[in-house]
Each structure stands twice: as C-alpha cells, then as structure tokens.
Amino acid sequence: MTKDLLIILAGLFFSKLLFFRFPLLGRRELKGQAPRLSIIIPARNEEKNLALILEDLTKQTASVYEIICVDDASADGTATVAASFGVRLISLKDKPEGWIGKSWACQNGADAAGGDVLLFLDADVRLGSEGIGRLLCAYEDSGCTISVQPYHIIEEKYEQLSMFFNMVQIAATGIAMPFRSRKIGLFGPVIMMSRSDYFGFGGHESIKGSIIDDIAIGSRLKSLGMPFRLFLGDREISFRMYAGGIRDLMQGWTKNQSAGAMGTPPDIFAMVFLWISACISVTIQLVLAAVQGNLPWLAAYSALYLLWILELRRIAVRIGSFDTRAIIIYPVLMIFYLWIFALSVVKKIFRLKVTWKERGIRLEK
C-alpha cells in the first residue's frame, strides 16, 4: 500500500501543477479602434442553439461588422433561424471528398467574409453582453490568434459525465500550468485571428481532413512560427455541450479523445496519466482497506479520498457548473471517461466509424 500511497500523493502534486492557474479574459475598454470583425458560425442541425447565440450577438456592447452563418446541409430549421435574424446565410448542400463538414463550413464562411478579423464561433457558445468586447481586448493585447475554452454550463444530470473530459482537455494543453508550456492546439468553440493569418497558414483547407480541427490548426500555426494564446471562459463566454442527450455526449467525446491524446507532449501526457492513475488508485485502495477491515489504512484513504474531492472541486468550479454531489462520486465519472477513451482508441486502431451530426466519420490514424 505504501507504493499506492506515493502514487496518490504524487497525483495530488501534479494536480496542483496541471491546474495551477486559470487564465481568464480581462475586462477593460479597447485601447485602439475596433477592427472590422466577421463572425462565422458553422452550423449543422443547430436550430435551437443557433437561435440562442444569434440572440446573444444582438446584445453585444462591441460593434460587429458582419455575422455569417454557414448552414452545413442541415435537415432541420437552421437556415430558417439564421434568416429570421437577418444574418448572412451560406447554404451548403454537400461537402467535397476529403473534407470534414465543420472545416468545409468554416472555409466557406472565411472565403465570404469581408472583415479584417475573423471569429469562428460554435453554435452552442453563449455570450454575455461584453463577450465580444472581451475577446477583442484579449486579441488586441496578444497581437496574435487567440482561442477560448468556454465555461461549461450543466443543466441535466447526464451532462455531469463530461467533467473529466473537460479537465483532461484543459490539462493536456498546458494552459493552466505555472510556466509557459508547449501549447498543442486551439480550442475549437472560439477562435479569433486576423484574416491575413488565416489565409497565411492555408485556412481550414490546409487541415480539411482532420477530425480535431482545433488541434490541427494549432499544430499548423506552430509549424509556421505563428504565435497564439489560449484562455478559459467564464459565464460571459460559456457553452452547453451535448444538450441532445447522453448518446450525443458519447458520440462527441468518442470522436475527440484518442486523437487529442496523441498530440499531447510526452511530459504533459505523463503528468496527466499519473493524475488519472492517482484518482483511480485512491478509490481502489479505499475499497480494499474496507474489505480487509484494515482500520488505519481505511482512515488514511478516507482522508485522501476527501482531499481528492476537494481538489477536483477546486478545478471543476473554475471550468463549469459541475455539481458537488457528482464530484463526491467522481469514480463513476472516471469510469465513464476511461470507457469512452478506450472505445475511442479501439475505433482509431481499427479505423471504425464514429457517427457525428448524422455523418459517419473514420478516426484518423
């Protein structure tokens, strides 16, 4: 048990390291003149989410040059919703061979945009009235591409299952570590960059077959020496992922997991692996001590389990509206995470299809 105790304590140390800081967007006025901003929203079967984000965009304190909604062959009322808000609508009927649907939609939106700065927004993103202004300020301060992982709003119980996926995604980027890290990619829901940078790296056409487009764009920018900065959102920039039900959630995370893990730097991968191992180990050792009737170790591992609950809550409340009751039973969430991760790896190895947005996608090797 001493070895397991060391693993658990090391995991707590790496947890503090992986989630040392939470870089949020600042609040201030723009120093210079606001650039002409083109907002591009790729949307496939997003009539409910699209109405919400377009309503948010009507309430912004910052000016927006244009809003372009790219309807990616939707089978619902996505196009009707876009038209009702008077935004520019591009309707795509099909995508060429070799393209992933979202990348095809984003490229078409960028080709049609007239702004100096492009903002790609997923349809499930929600913005407070200062959301666009805060993005523009961060872009002005950074002087380069910026990307934000929105704060995760939880409404239904099954959505609590996303907790570890969110944590691992953030940890793997190194964004929350105390020192400058080797960033591996962007956050797909919110990406802002200059028009010249976008077409300079080749746009979505340069990564058209990549399922994880945000990681692929980040890798592309790094290879060309083009800097970017990452931020975490708060309730001013948030999203509700996979509101369509648990099947939607499972398909979405299965699509993302193995591909994202393969791009993680080895040192960060090792820390995340040990962090996950420690989360699992404390639960296993607590159960073993209870079964064996070993009261001293039962007390020790009960205390460590409580420490892990407090540590996970420290992280969870900064990245989403996760319920403390779900954190208390975090082993259930971890088992779900490991199951989906294993399923993603199997599908990747055997090139099996994953269904997403009613399309069959084969995971990249």
Residue-wise pLDDT for 277-301, tens only, equals 999 999 999 999 999 999 999 999 9
Average pLDDT over residues 173-195: 88
pLDDT for 262: 64
How do beta strands 125-127 and 237-239 pair? antiparallel
What average pLDDT does the segment 218-243 reach?
95
Cβ neighbour number for residue 303 with a 10 Å cutoff: 11
pLDDT at 264: 81
Rg for the chain, CA atoms, rounded? 21
Cβ density class 308-318: b for 16+ within 10 Å, e for less? bbebbbebbeb
Band (182; pLDDT cuts 50, 70, 90): low
Name the DSSP letter for residue 273.
Answer: H
Checking if the pLDDT of 214 tops 60, the result is: yes
* Cα gap 112→101, rounded to integer Å: 17
In this prediction, residues 202-226 reach a mean pLDDT of 94
Here the tokens at position 163 are 């907790």
pLDDT at 260: 64
Please say if the pLDDT value at position 365 is more than 70. no
The torsion angle over the Cα atoms of residues 78, 84, 88 and 91, rounded to 10 degrees, is 30
Domains and CATH numbers, the chain: 2-19+264-362 (no CATH), 37-150+187-243 (3.90.550.10)
CA max distance for the chain: 70
Which pLDDT score, from 0 to 100, does residue 266 have?
87
pLDDT of residue 211: 87
pLDDT at 112 > cutoff 70: yes
What pLDDT shows up at residue 184?
A: 76
pLDDT of 343 strictly over 80: yes
CB 127 within 8 A of CB 60: yes
Residue type, 158: Y
What integer is the mean pLDDT of 239-249? 94
Specify the pLDDT at position 357: 80
Whose structure tokens read 């992986």? Answer: 18
pLDDT at 114: 98
Strand partners, 201: none
Tell me how far apart the alpha carbons of residues 305 and 299 are, in angstroms, rounded to a whole number.
Answer: 10
More confident residue, 3 or 46: 46
What are the structure tokens assigned to 179, written together?
């020192």
User: Other C-beta atoms within 10 Å of 7: how many?
Assistant: 17
Model-level pTM greater than 0.85?
Answer: yes
306: pLDDT strictly greater than 70: yes
Tokens of 30: 């723009």
Average pLDDT, the chain: 93
